[in-house]
Amino acid sequence: MPLIVLLCGALVLYPIGFLINESLNVGDPSAFPPEEYGLDNYANLIDDYRVLTNTALVSCVATVLAVIFGFLQAWILTRTNIPGRQRLERLMELPYYMTPLIGALAWGVLLGPKTGLVNQVWRSFGTPGDLFNIYSPWGIAWVMALFEGTVAFVMISAAMKSMDPSLEESSRVLGAGKLRTALRITLPLVAPGVLSATIFVFAEMLGSFAAAFVLGIPGRFYVVTTSIWQATLSFPPDYGRAAAMGLSLFVVMLVTLTLARLVLRKGTYTTITGKAFRPREMDVGALRWPLLAIAWGYILVAVILPLGALLLTSFERFATVIISQMQFTFANYETAMQMGSVGPAFINSLILAISVSTIGVLVIGVLAWIIYRSRMPGSGAAEYVIMFPQAVPRLVFGLGLLWAWINLPIPIYGTLWLLALAYFTVFLPLGLRTIASVVLQVDPSLEECARVCGAKWGYQMRTVTMPLLRPGLVAAWLLIFIASVRELGVSIFLMGPNSKVIAPAIVNSWLSSSSELSAAMALIQTATIFIAVAILFGVARRFTGVTQ
């Protein structure tokens, strides 16, 4: 069993070691091991100041937008009495499952220059030019805020929900009005949560790839992540530069995330506990209709419009909203399933997702058991190592994996085996977190009781432990499945001509062929994810009575 821990540790640390090694390579970039070491790759980053300012601009705008959206939605949905809040809260999860890639494609379809559906309407009124060009820094920030910033809503509404309503009630009882209570009590109490959410989202934005890729590349607008990708494509590929950029990005993100955690710990007053409260709802009176409109407005731009645009486009011969020109067809879906490498890409993704989640759940289940139950020495360190990929931007980890496995004598580069191994490595934290939460929920005395009743270890595992862990294992399986189907950052580096997977295939189709076909592919991927999510919630509902 300790062998499994060591093996997983090696899978995680090996690519990172390679990345560090390569970032110091100043000789022939494709030579391995490097012929010459130096810090030039890092020094040269300063020359790319355009990329750095681009990244800062997009990340800042996207963060501000995401936090404003998140705060408004969180407040409306947790603290006011507008009708239908529960349904709205469920809908708020959709942008996350849709992924930034699909969001970017959809908004490309909506607001692309000339061909964008909204811009078409705009022109049909006889106005010259476009209403808005989404292929711009502002457009990228907009899409990132909508689809990558959903975590702001989750974090801020958690802070709002976890506040003891008696804190506000005592302010009211002591004679303060609604407004005074909101400004003097509520706001200061949620401020640390909002601040840490802001920093956290900013770090996410720094490492985000898909939106900047889909909407930035056509206009040659580069941020750090897209220029890492670019550096590996140039001839000869500049791996040293890419590695230095990736590691710098990793360090900046790590510092930022540590800061976010620090703010949360320092600034949180002890009154905000893990205890679940029922937050007091504020009667907003006539204001509820405007607030309801804001809440639904968000769902409109983050879910309904994008999905609607993709749906319409995917069934059309040419993307258009002019009714007289519409020509409906199933051809896009037929092509998507057959065409050269696209159909196989989808099949590959399914094969990968099913096998990675199956093997992953088995291995991670054992890992969780060793780390959280066995009291084995060093289990704390093992947990730290296995959770490590979480801190590394996916794209940077993909780069490390690429470099690490290219240089191994094991010929798995360009095969599905490498992708499977890579997925397994990057999804270790996701699986461990999910299974650990169930392992920690199961009272140890449930197992001890079986032993005292006379059951041997195997019998106890079969009759008590495994049945109790089943909901957690199923949830972990589905979460890894979903993450595999939508995976982009690692896949884009590691897929070969015979091992294509769906997300990078969508990107390629978008860059090289029609938006109609890409829309159909995007919807196939989204539908797969939605079905998995629906099963996930079904399972969760069935088992919630049991896990208590």
Partner 1 sequence: MNRIEVTDLVVRYGDVTAVDSISFAIAPGELVTLLGPSGCGKTTTLRSVAGLETPTGGSIRLNGDIVYSGRRNVPAEKRGVSMVFQSYAIWPHMTVFDNVAYGLRVRKLPQSEVRRNVERVLDLVQMQDFATRPASKLSGGQQQRVAVARAIAFSPSVLLFDEPLSNLDAKLRAEMRVELRELQRRLDITSLYVTHDQEEALAISDRVIVMNDGQIEQIGSPEEIYNRPISRFVADFVGSANLINGTVRGPSGKNRTLMFDAEGGMQLEVVAADESRSGQEMAALRSSYVHLDDPLETHNTVQGTIHRRMFHGDFIQYVVDWPAGQLIVRRPPTELFDEGSSVTVSFAPEHCVLI
The footprint of partner 1 (CB under 8 A) covers 443, 445-446, 448-456, 459, 463-464, 467-468, 545-548
What are the beta bridge partners of residue 282? 80
Sign of the four-CA dihedral 158, 480, 225, 248: positive
Q: Residue 325 is encoded by which pair of tokens? A: 């020109």
Q: How far is residue 82's CA from residue 525's CA, in Å, rounded to a whole number? A: 34
Closest contact distance (angstroms) between CB of 459 and partner 1 is 7
Measured from the CB atom, the residue of 330 and 459 that comes closer to partner 1 is 459
Closest contact distance (angstroms) between CB of 543 and partner 1 is 9
Q: Among 98, 77, 78, 196, which residue's Cα sits nearest to residue 147?
A: 98
Three-state DSSP at 62 gives helix
Q: How far is residue 478's CA from residue 531's CA, in Å, rounded to a whole number? A: 10
Measured from the CB atom, the residue of 220 and 456 that comes closer to partner 1 is 456
Closest contact distance (angstroms) between CB of 375 and partner 1 is 10
| Alpha helices by DSSP H, 185-321 | 187-207, 210-216, 224-233, 239-267, 288-299, 305-314
Closest contact distance (angstroms) between CB of 456 and partner 1 is 6
Measured from the CB atom, the residue of 447 and 487 that comes closer to partner 1 is 447
Closest contact distance (angstroms) between CB of 369 and partner 1 is 18
Closest contact distance (angstroms) between CB of 544 and partner 1 is 10
Which residues does 208 contact at the CB level (< 8 Å), separation at least 6?
Answer: 100, 144, 148, 225
Q: Among 528, 503, 506, which residue's Cα sits nearest to residue 518?
A: 506
- The continuous run of DSSP H or E covering 195 comes out as helix 187-207
Closest contact distance (angstroms) between CB of 457 and partner 1 is 8
Which residues does 73 contact at the CB level (< 8 Å), separation at least 6?
Answer: 92, 153, 157, 295, 298
Sign of the four-CA dihedral 480, 482, 488, 493: positive
Closest contact distance (angstroms) between CB of 454 and partner 1 is 4
Closest contact distance (angstroms) between CB of 535 and partner 1 is 20
Maximum C-alpha span of the chain: 84
Closest contact distance (angstroms) between CB of 449 and partner 1 is 4
Q: How far is residue 243's CA from residue 248's CA, in Å, rounded to a whole number? A: 8
Hey, what amino acid is at 200? F
Q: Are 234 and 25 spatial neighbours (Cβ–Cβ below 8 Å)?
A: no
What are the beta bridge partners of residue 37? 25
Measured from the CB atom, the residue of 37 and 457 that comes closer to partner 1 is 457
Q: How far is residue 310's CA from residue 331's CA, in Å, rounded to a whole number? A: 15
Measured from the CB atom, the residue of 151 and 461 that comes closer to partner 1 is 461
Measured from the CB atom, the residue of 255 and 446 that comes closer to partner 1 is 446
| Alpha helices by DSSP H, 315-427 | 331-338, 342-373, 379-386, 394-406, 416-426
Hey, what amino acid is at 80? T
Closest contact distance (angstroms) between CB of 452 and partner 1 is 5
Three-state DSSP at 37 gives strand
Closest contact distance (angstroms) between CB of 471 and partner 1 is 10
Q: How far is residue 236's CA from residue 298's CA, in Å, rounded to a whole number? A: 45
| Alpha helices by DSSP H, 112-186 | 117-124, 137-147, 150-161, 165-173, 178-181
